[in-house]
């Protein structure tokens, strides 16, 4: 389960660089956002109570792009894949950065995300992936880029979830370019989190949330090439976000709401309002994801026939938790009224 080969242990201190770049970038982004008045105001569609600058995720993006450049130089056999990921992240982060400054309709963002997803598929093809792997990469990029944007609503949640998932994918992939990319992503998230916990001094913004989702999609799609029948296990590290986002979206569509507009109807947002704070919710989601990551790693030796039933159980438990959180929040609201 080692991420690096014995001869590469001496390189581990280099992970200080993505951490430091992300931390410095976030600090600079906060100064920039305050100067440019890029500040999210509290409101009924938001989960914070004080004006907070946005766009801190640009530090993670810069750290990731530099890490990808280093990896492409260090591992030229994977240069095309790494280049496709870098271009995809740049596209998704770029449209997010523009959206942080000048809010866009969903369509330009979807167009750019589609181009980024096609780039990821191009990289997967270069790594020997067939048509099914390429389609899976496109789907993962489109879904996770948007899911991470949807779920970035309370302090520390999106970055901590990405950190745990990145480490899990790195451990599953083992030594090599995928493992190093996962560790670099985790280090960059760790550099951002001190500015987002225990109380946010800056938010990721669309520039950061979309890029995190895309980076995780790239890790998952690349890792999937070596998993065969165990590929479905790769949804476990992102299951908390997938369950909450998909059930919330389905409910909004089913009730005739304008689902593409910002809202505060996710289970984590209901729970944060009920709890009167964000810390407990972020820790609970982290606990779920940690267990899910351990389950994925343990599933490496499981018979493929048991994987889909196991994932169904995870989905049922997660769906039950989602429904309970929404029901408890609604019950409290009715009581207060």
Q: What is the pLDDT of residues 28-53, one digit of tens each?
A: 999 999 999 999 887 666 666 688 99
Torsions phi, psi for 89 (to 5 deg): -60, -45
Helix (H, G, I), strand (E, B) or coil at 139: helix
Counted domains in the chain: 1
The answer to whether 175 and 25 have CB atoms below 8 angstroms apart is no
The yes-or-no verdict on residue 329 having pLDDT over 70 is no
| pLDDT mean over 71-97 | 97
pLDDT digits (tens, 9 = 90+) for 5-33: 665 665 777 899 999 999 999 999 999 99
The yes-or-no verdict on residue 328 having pLDDT over 50 is yes
Assigned domain for 269 exists: yes
What confidence category does residue 272 fall into, taking pLDDT thresholds of 50, 70 and 90? confident
The answer to whether 282 and 155 have CB atoms below 8 angstroms apart is yes
Assigned domain for 164 exists: yes
Length of the chain: 337
The yes-or-no verdict on residue 325 having pLDDT over 90 is no
Q: Among 89-103, 192-206, 249-263, which stretch is predicted with the lowest mean pLDDT?
A: 249-263
Amino acid 2: pLDDT: 64
pLDDT digits (tens, 9 = 90+) for 274-303: 877 888 999 999 999 999 999 999 998 888
Of 301 and 115, more confident? 115
Assigned domain for 62 exists: yes
What confidence category does residue 336 fall into, taking pLDDT thresholds of 50, 70 and 90? very low
Q: What is each CA distance from 197 to 44, 124, 154, 247, 331, in whole angstroms?
A: 22, 35, 10, 27, 29
What confidence category does residue 335 fall into, taking pLDDT thresholds of 50, 70 and 90? very low
Assigned domain for 1 exists: no
Amino acid 48: pLDDT: 65
Assigned domain for 75 exists: yes
Assigned domain for 251 exists: yes
Percentage of the chain exceeding pLDDT 70? 92
The yes-or-no verdict on residue 333 having pLDDT over 60 is no
Assigned domain for 206 exists: yes
Assigned domain for 290 exists: yes
Amino acid 46: pLDDT: 63
- Note the pTM of the prediction, 2 decimals: 0.93
- Expressed as residue numbers, the domain containing 149 is 6-336
């Amino acid at each position: 389960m080692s991420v690096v080969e014995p001869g590469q242990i001496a390189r581990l201190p280099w992970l200080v660089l993505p951490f430091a770049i992300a931390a410095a970038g976030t600090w600079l982004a906060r100064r920039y956002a305050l100067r440019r008045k890029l500040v999210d105001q509290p409101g009924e569609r938001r989960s914070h109570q004080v004006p907070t600058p946005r766009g801190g995720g640009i530090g993670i993006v810069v750290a990731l792009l530099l890490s990808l450049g280093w990896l492409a130089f260090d591992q030229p056999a994977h240069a095309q894949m790494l280049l496709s990921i870098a271009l995809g992240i740049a596209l998704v982060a770029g449209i997010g950065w523009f959206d942080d400054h000048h809010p866009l309709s969903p369509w330009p963002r979807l167009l750019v995300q589609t181009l980024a997803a096609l780039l990821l598929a191009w990289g997967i093809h270069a790594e020997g992936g067939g048509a099914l792997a390429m389609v899976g990469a496109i789907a993962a990029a489109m879904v996770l880029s948007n899911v991470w944007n949807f779920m970035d609503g309370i302090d520390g949640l999106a970055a901590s979830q990405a950190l745990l998932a990145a480490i899990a994918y790195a451990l599953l992939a083992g030594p090599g370019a995928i493992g190093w990319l996962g560790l670099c992503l985790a280090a960059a998230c760790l550099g951002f989190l001190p500015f987002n916990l225990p109380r946010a001094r800056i938010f990721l913004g669309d520039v950061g949330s979309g890029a995190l989702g895309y980076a995780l999609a790239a890790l998952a799609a690349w890792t999937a090439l070596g998993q065969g029948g165990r590929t479905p296990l790769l949804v476990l590290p992102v299951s908390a976000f997938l369950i909450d986002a998909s059930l919330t979206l389905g409910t909004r569509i089913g009730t005739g709401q304008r689902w593409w507009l910002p809202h505060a109807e996710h289970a984590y947002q209901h729970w944060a309002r009920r709890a009167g704070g964000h810390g407990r919710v972020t820790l609970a989601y982290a606990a779920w994801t940690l267990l899910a990551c351990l389950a994925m790693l343990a599933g490496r030796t499981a018979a493929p026939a048991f994987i889909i039933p196991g994932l169904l159980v995870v989905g049922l438990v997660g769906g039950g938790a989602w429904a309970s959180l929404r029901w408890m929040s609604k019950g409290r609201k009715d009581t207060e009224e």
